[in-house]
Structure 1
Amino acid sequence: MDQLCPRFEKAMVLLSTRWVGLILFELLKGAKRFSEMEADLPISGRLLSDRLKLLEKEGIVERNIYSEFPVRIEYTLSEKGKALEPVIKDIQRWAEEYVSADDAADNEVK
């Protein structure tokens, strides 16, 4: 159990980092370009870039560069990232059952 606690704590810190959950939720739908995610999420481009770099560093997100003109860059979940799908889906189900619309509205970005 001593080995599990630091890993669990690191996972919780990573997943609770602001916007990480929503970025992962978006990428569960499939490959996305930066501009698509920026349009779909209420987050600045700079912060989105920082979060994607963090997730890429952790091996959860892959950045795929296609040599076209203009160059196309897409982000996808790695196998490690795809392994989070049941966790994210369970959180979604839990939220739908236990988090009221009023509670959710209290957390909206103004």
Structure 2
Amino acid sequence: MSRLLGSRWTMLIIHHLREPRRYCELQALVGDVNPATFTQRLRLLEQQGLIVRREDPENSRHVEYALTVQGTELLPILDELAAWARKWLLQGA
């Protein structure tokens, strides 16, 4: 789990899943990530129980991702890390 959370893009994906999002919307928010890498991160997050993947019953091509309870519990930690970074890393920038 620690390797997954420390992997590039993982925390950004979790951050942007504060509300459920479709694949393309989430990928656009995350930014310049290779599609294969992005899909791999989503699968790993799903396997670890941090996110859930839901298909639209009317159109299986429409997929939505959302945080699980376990994933949602990471949000306050991410917020604290962001506050720390603003205070200590961006002071002199």
1:47-85 per-residue CA deviation (whole Å, 9 max, x = no partner) reads: 110000000000000001111236421000000100111
Structure 1 length normalisation: TM-score? Answer: 0.75
**Aligned twin of 1:96:** 86
Aligned-CA RMSD value = 1.8
Partner of 1:43: 33
Unpaired runs of 5+ residues, structure 1, are 1-9, 104-110
Alignment-mate amino acid for residue 25 of structure 2: E
Q: Which has the larger strand fraction?
A: 2
Distance 2:85 2:92 in 1: 12
Candidates 49, 53, 56, aligned match of 1:59: 49
Alignment-mate amino acid for residue 92 of structure 1: A
Alignment coverage as a number of residue pairs: 92
Larger radius of gyration: 1
Q: CA deviation at 1:101?
A: 7.5
SS in 1 for 2:11: helix
- Partner of 2:53: helix, strand, or coil? strand
Distance in 2, matches of 1:79 and 1:25, equals: 14
Larger RCO (CA under 8 A, 6+ residues apart)? 2
| Aligned residue identity for 1:19 | W
Which residue pairs with 2:10 in the alignment?
Answer: 20
What TM-score, normalized to structure 2?
A: 0.88
SS at match of 1:36: helix
Distance 2:91 2:8 in 1: 20
